[in-house]
Amino acid sequence: MRRPASAPVATALTPGTQLTREWQGVRHEVVVEPDGRLRHRDELHRSLSQVARKITGSRWNGPRFFGLRGEEDGA
C-alpha cells in the first residue's frame, strides 16, 4: 500500500529523531521535523529517499541507506 502524497513523510519516525550516515568520508545528519519533513543541511525533504539521492547522486531506498531496513526486508 502506498501513502497518499499529502500524508506525513516520516510517519514511523518521531519528530526530533536524528539519523546519521557517513558517505564517502562525509558525515550526514538528518533530523525529523515536527511536520514530518526531513532536514538535511538546512534543506527540507519529503522522504529519506530524496535525502539519499541528494547525498549519493543516485537512486536509493532511503530507509535502507540510513540503516533502517536490511536486505531481508525486501525494500
Task: Report the pLDDT averaged over residues 4-33.
Answer: 83
In our burial notation (b when 16+ CB lie closer than 10 A, e otherwise), range 33-51 reads eeeebbebeeeebeebbbb
Which pLDDT score is estimated for 70? 73
pTM: 0.76
Which pLDDT score is estimated for 37? 96
Contact by Cβ (8 Å): 68, 52 = no
Which pLDDT score is estimated for 69? 82
37-60 tens-digit pLDDT: 999 999 999 999 999 999 999 999
